[in-house]
Amino acid sequence: MTRIIADISVSADGFVTGPDPGPDNGLGNGGEALHTWAFSDDPDDRRILRDGTARSGAVVLGRHLFDIVDGPKGWDDTSGYGAGEVGKPAFVVVTGSPPESVRTTGLDWTFVTTGLPDAVAAACERAVAASSDSGKDLDVILMGGGATVRSALDAGLVDTPALHLAPVVLGGGTPLFTGQAPRTLVQRSVISTSTATHLTYDVLR
């Protein structure tokens, strides 16, 4: 069964970037600390990253995040989604208009201009097809940015929030939660490593 998983790193004070994020400073000031776990040698961190990549049938992201990862200082063979892990999933970008060009042409990009629900639906179709091809259940991963994940939670599109809580207080930046409709979560797992606390929940319908 394909699930919709919101997978994102967040600071102890609730931010998914540091202050002053921008095209040349995508994670904001100090925001690199949010993703220390993804480059850690801790075996539990490595397993969580590997398992997350392996279950990704399709990945949804917003246009702002796309512009960062496709920009000149964005992803490459060593720093892209799941770099060093198996497989490259399809990517679905929710945007007002498609970009004129794409730098990362080696990745499978789909641009959806009719809103987040349609982008998630398109990603579900890709993930179901990938599941059929691979013979195992694969999921849709909402990787961000914060506004995209927040909107998906508000719209009831998320089955499982997976939060990687970094031991850093950023003091500002892009908040993950900003007074949206209340949601009841059921805790599924808590894994503490040397670099983060990995929290997985189910959204109670």
Return the CATH number at 127.
Answer: 3.40.430.10
Q: Which domain holds residue 185?
A: 4-13+29-203
In a domain, 178, yes or no: yes
* pLDDT in single tens digits along all 205 residues of the chain: 899 999 999 999 999 999 988 777 878 999 999 999 999 999 999 999 999 999 999 999 999 999 999 998 888 877 778 655 556 899 999 999 999 999 999 899 999 999 999 999 999 999 999 999 999 999 999 998 899 999 999 899 999 999 999 999 999 999 998 877 778 899 999 999 999 999 999 998 7
From the CB of residue 133, how many other CB atoms can be counted at a distance below 10 Å? 10
In 3D space, the residue among 73, 93, 61 whose CA is nearest the CA of residue 23 turns out to be: 73
> pTM for the full model?
0.91
**Domain total for the chain?**
1
The length of the chain in residues reads 205
Q: Residues with Cβ < 8 Å from 13, sequence gap 6 or more? A: 169, 170, 171
What residues are paired with 11 via a beta bridge?
166
